[in-house]
A and B are shown apart, each in its own frame.
Chain A
Amino acid sequence: MKALLLAVGLWLLSQVGFSQVKEKPTLDLQNIIERLFPLQEEDIDYEAIYELLLELYQSPLDLNRATAEELLATYLLSPVQIQSLLAYRNQQGDFLSIYELQAIPEIDGYTLENLLPFLAVYDKGGRSKPFLTRLKEEENAFLSSRHRRTWELRKGFTPSDTSQATSRYLGGPNDLFLRFRIQHPRDFSLGMTLEKDPGEAFAWDPKTSRYGFNFISFHHTRYSMGKWKTITLGDFQASFGQGLVFGAGYTFGKGAETVPTVRRSSLGLLPYTASIEGGFFRGLGLTRQMKQWQSSLFFSSVGRDARLDLGADSLDSAQPFISSLPQAGLHRSPSELATKNQVRETSLGANLNFAPTSSSWSAGVNFLHTELSHPWIRQPNRYNQFEFAGQRNQVISTYGNYSWKNSFFFGETALASSGGRGTVLGLISSLSKTVDFSLLWRQYDRNFHSFYATAFSESTRPINERGWYLGLQVRPSPKLKINAYYDTFSFPWLKFRTYAPSQGNEWLSRLSYQPRKTLVTFVQFRQETKERNGSEPLAQSPSYHLNPIKKSNLTASLELDLPPSLQLRSRILWNQVVWEGKKSLGWMLLQEVSYRKNKWKFTGRVALFDAQTFDNRLYAYEQNAVGTFAIPSFAGKGSRRYLLTTVQLHPKLTAYVRIAQTSYANQDQISSGLQAIQGTKQTDTVFLLRYALH
């Protein structure tokens, strides 16, 4: 039986035409991002999630060792598929090849194809060579350098207006990025990232911790060194439990994939590789494995941007305090530069995890102590009364996972030093072979302060929220898939632009039809109702009156592969916003073509957009150079086009060139403030060179 399966596997290998030793199956990153990413509503930088997905992809799971927990973390398998995979492995012994998965009836062809990049069968032998030799021989070693620039002149780069003392940017408009990374799954990772944002100056100034580039990040992580599971030095993130304490900067939450993404897996200590200047730890982290126990401990001390104030009436105490903590990581103008590295954040974190071997449950405890070098005193406003204030915060939590039949239960409950609590409880379950279901309940107090939490929530942070989420996936036939979710939530305390307790709900349904491997279509509809301050002047009513705002979005998509070299992607986006009896619409039509020939690959897109109000803005994922990520939003009326060219100049050297342009029909200024461009067009370029060291 085994021999036959192996023969089938080998035959398939020869058909697919790659050797498993060297090349990995190609990952359709765009597909995965669009499937897993939360539906975008705000201009949030998703680079950290993107880096994390790359991390998952670059260290495929060992199919013969992977636990249910780890398999769930791929977000590609349903509970019934995981249980049958584990049952098969227990019965038949180790897999000889990942293609042996075809013998499991619950795992269909499309699932298998999506899984290939995430799984591997590793040799059993240990690491015979010394570390330095392994480092020297590692093939996954790259040096990337990237230049980005907007070619139209922004106001910040114009000569200063001498009549008024207006500030300008200190540096030039070039965006520079340099990265070195070498890694081997489950063995080591070594990397360095250097970045200079547009407008920032190249300067050697230890006082503002500028050493040429404005942002410098470094990590060295080793795995499986005897009983030490992980030792990480430099920049890192932590992911344990459901993200109430250690969220590792990501949450998938509500997206097109409606069932598996509500649950988070404990990924442990991870190297930080993104260039977002916040949300990571800097120091030393250790994870030790002792049979069924695993303990992690880390220490971090990192400079953060902060605006320091002395206070207007503080004659007796001249102690400076933090009035705000800017997150953008931009240091372009003298004012922005004055915030750089003003505060030191010291953290001590710990995790203890207990997972009895071959049992159906695991549990753990998290603890994080954070201390700021100055107290944080916010400017009081209507809604921030219960937000964090002071100099130190502690948060402690306990979490657990339990699997039973075709269901996975999970939960975490946390307590912050303010007394605020946060709790998440949920389950994902296969109700039948074709129906998967998920349920999640969460409650976060208005004073639940956890700086690194990214647990499931409607708001951008898990605070001041209660809600229920129901997710469903039905696969009536292999070609057809129906996804749906419904989420109802309330915000017991005031929020930004919502000066009264409020509530809302959201639902989505998506019908995907894939009649054959080369044709993928879907239609997706989503509707969200929330409350927001009414627009009548405050003078006319003694208190704030909330009005509902209802947003509907429709997306229709068609992707067609014309082998061997052509790929087409067409998409229609429509939305409608109803606010105080007024309806406004947004439209976007886009057409993308990819063409691949020998060492060249071209991807071009043209799109038209027409969004009547800012609430109608449209988000569209765009392809970019490797390691570069953005989902831009479009408001107003205009057109968008880009061309991305990838060429392999040398077996070791790949170049990416991207030119993108947006032109607006109904406005003669783009952006505002120092970012303002006089004109109707904005042109951006990306030039990236990636060099493989070995």
Chain B
Amino acid sequence: MYPATAQSDLSTQAFGAKSQGMGSGKLFHQDAWALFNNVGALDRSTSSQIATSIDQRYGLQELSTMALTGLLKGDAGSIGFGIARYGGALFNQHLLGIGVSTTRGILSFGGKVDWMQTQIEGFGTGNAFLFSFGGVAELGPKFFLGSQFSNLNQAKLSKNSTQPIPTLMQVGLSYLPSKNLVFHSELEKDLNAAPIFKIGLQYQLEEWIFLRTGIHSRPSRLSFGLGLQKKRMGLDYAYGQNSALGNTHHLSLHLNR
């Protein structure tokens, strides 16, 4: 196991099938998953929301993620709470996060605390607290700028470990050429790895159908997604294809207030 690679650490994963269908871009999704993806975008959600997801990778149970998150939107800002589990019996990680976000003028920003537990059979269990900050700024009616800094405190897997949890920074631009079309692009830099470029596209075919596609540069991965929204209920599915390893499937459900 190499917990430092971006694909296999819970703190670096993208959450929600919407993000997974758009190249795993994290910065601009305005939903309850923003707690994990970019806490600064949490307050850009239009309503309170509860959501759950499952990610199935390359047919291996040991590489799957399950998560549950809730967002409470108030006048002054939003509060999010979420829990996630990744891995199998021999190696697994749990993440428990709480975050707040607010909007002032064109800027939405927020902060989050995660408690992450890593358990490796035969090695024991490690705990760490991670602090993250992020924000989204509206540059104009068609452009948004986003940025996030996660694990700012450069925590390690446990007190007794020298293995650092990745410290990531993302910067990105979102472009909305028309009301049914959204582009997201972002650059993600891990302190100890080469940068990753992600680009995602969402097309609203009908009032309630969303089609998505995206590219993730390292490892090279192509993804497609479908979203359905009926009244308060929503379902998102994403398919990721990585020619070396196989396919990934992602499903999430949400309920708006």
Q: CB-defined interface of A478-499 with B at 8 Å, one 1/0 digit per residue?
A: 0000000010111000000000
Does A157 interact with chain B (Cβ within 8 Å)? Answer: no
Q: Is the CB of B178 within 8 A of A488?
A: no
Q: Is the CB of A437 within 8 A of B201?
A: yes
Q: Is the CB of A486 within 8 A of B177?
A: no
- A486-B243 contact given A431-B203, A432-B180, A434-B177, CB 8 Å threshold: no
Set of chain A residues within 8 Å of B5, measured between Cβ atoms:
none
Set of chain A residues within 8 Å of B244, measured between Cβ atoms:
503
- A439-B243 contact given A432-B177, A433-B178, A434-B177, CB 8 Å threshold: no
Return the contact of A486 from the options B180, B183, B215 (Cβ within 8 A). Answer: B215
Set of chain A residues within 8 Å of B177, measured between Cβ atoms:
431-432, 434-435, 474, 476
Set of chain B residues within 8 Å of A470, measured between Cβ atoms:
213, 215, 222
Q: Is the CB of A488 within 8 A of B181?
A: no
**How close is A580's CB to chain B, nearest CB, in angstroms?**
18
Set of chain A residues within 8 Å of B241, measured between Cβ atoms:
468, 488
In the complex, A529 Cα to B218 Cα: how many Å? 12
Q: Is the CB of B222 within 8 A of A468?
A: yes
| Contact count band on A | 20 to 34
Set of chain B residues within 8 Å of A474, measured between Cβ atoms:
177, 183
Q: Is the interface of A mostly helix, strand, loop or mixed?
A: strand
**How close is A402's CB to chain B, nearest CB, in angstroms?**
16
In the complex, A486 Cα to B213 Cα: how many Å? 12
Does A505 interact with chain B (Cβ within 8 Å)? Answer: yes
Q: Is the CB of B203 within 8 A of A488?
A: no
Q: Is the CB of B243 within 8 A of A488?
A: yes
**How close is A72's CB to chain B, nearest CB, in angstroms?**
20
**How close is B174's CB to chain A, nearest CB, in angstroms?**
13
In the complex, A434 Cα to B175 Cα: how many Å? 12
In the complex, A476 Cα to B175 Cα: how many Å? 10
In the complex, A466 Cα to B243 Cα: how many Å? 9
Set of chain B residues within 8 Å of A507, measured between Cβ atoms:
215
- A431-B181 contact given A468-B222, A468-B241, A486-B222, CB 8 Å threshold: yes
Q: CB-defined interface of B120-153 with A at 8 Å, one 1/0 digit per residue?
A: 0000000000000000000000000000000000
Which residues 307-346 of A sit at the B interface, judged by CB distance below 8 A? none
Does B220 interact with chain A (Cβ within 8 Å)? Answer: yes
Set of chain A residues within 8 Å of B203, measured between Cβ atoms:
431, 437
Q: CB-defined interface of A432-463 with B at 8 Å, one 1/0 digit per residue?
A: 11110101000000000000000000000000
Q: CB-defined interface of B164-185 with A at 8 Å, one 1/0 digit per residue?
A: 0000000000000110110100
In the complex, A489 Cα to B220 Cα: how many Å? 11
In the complex, A439 Cα to B215 Cα: how many Å? 13
Set of chain A residues within 8 Å of B180, measured between Cβ atoms:
431-432
Q: CB-defined interface of A517-559 with B at 8 Å, one 1/0 digit per residue?
A: 0000000000001000000000000000000000000000000
- A490-B243 contact given A439-B213, A468-B222, A505-B220, CB 8 Å threshold: yes
**How close is B227's CB to chain A, nearest CB, in angstroms?**
15
Set of chain A residues within 8 Å of B178, measured between Cβ atoms:
431-435
In the complex, A437 Cα to B215 Cα: how many Å? 14
Q: Is the CB of A435 within 8 A of B243?
A: no
**How close is A506's CB to chain B, nearest CB, in angstroms?**
10
In the complex, A673 Cα to B177 Cα: how many Å? 57
Which residues 115-135 of A sit at the B interface, judged by CB distance below 8 A? none
Which residues 206-231 of B sit at the A interface, judged by CB distance below 8 A? 213, 215, 220, 222
Return the contact of A488 from the options B183, B201, B220 (Cβ within 8 A). Answer: B220
In the complex, A432 Cα to B183 Cα: how many Å? 12
Set of chain B residues within 8 Å of A431, measured between Cβ atoms:
177-178, 180-181, 201, 203
Q: Is the CB of A432 within 8 A of B181?
A: yes
Set of chain A residues within 8 Å of B243, measured between Cβ atoms:
466, 488-490, 503
**How close is B33's CB to chain A, nearest CB, in angstroms?**
24
In the complex, A433 Cα to B177 Cα: how many Å? 9
**How close is B220's CB to chain A, nearest CB, in angstroms?**
5
In the complex, A503 Cα to B246 Cα: how many Å? 13
In the complex, A254 Cα to B93 Cα: how many Å? 43
In the complex, A439 Cα to B201 Cα: how many Å? 13
Q: Is the CB of B222 within 8 A of A488?
A: yes
Q: CB-defined interface of B220-257 with A at 8 Å, one 1/0 digit per residue?
A: 10100000000000000000010110000000000000
Smallest CB gap from B242: residue in A: A488
Set of chain B residues within 8 Å of A490, measured between Cβ atoms:
243
- A435-B222 contact given A470-B213, A503-B243, CB 8 Å threshold: no
**How close is A545's CB to chain B, nearest CB, in angstroms?**
16
**How close is A230's CB to chain B, nearest CB, in angstroms?**
39
In the complex, A9 Cα to B220 Cα: how many Å? 51
Return the contact of B181 from the options A435, A468, A476, A489 (Cβ within 8 A). Answer: A435
15 contacts between A and B (CB under 8 A): A431-B180, A431-B201, A431-B203, A432-B177, A435-B178, A435-B181, A439-B213, A466-B243, A468-B241, A474-B177, A489-B243, A490-B243, A503-B243, A503-B244, A507-B215
Task: Show the binding face of A for B, using Cβ within 8 Å.
Answer: 431-435, 437, 439, 466, 468, 470, 472, 474, 476, 486, 488-490, 503, 505, 507, 529
Beyond the given pairs A431-B201, A431-B203, A468-B241, 15 more chain A to chain B contacts, judged by CB atoms under 8 angstroms and listed by A's residue number, are A431-B178, A431-B181, A432-B178, A432-B180, A433-B178, A435-B178, A435-B181, A439-B213, A470-B222, A472-B201, A488-B220, A490-B243, A503-B243, A503-B244, A529-B220
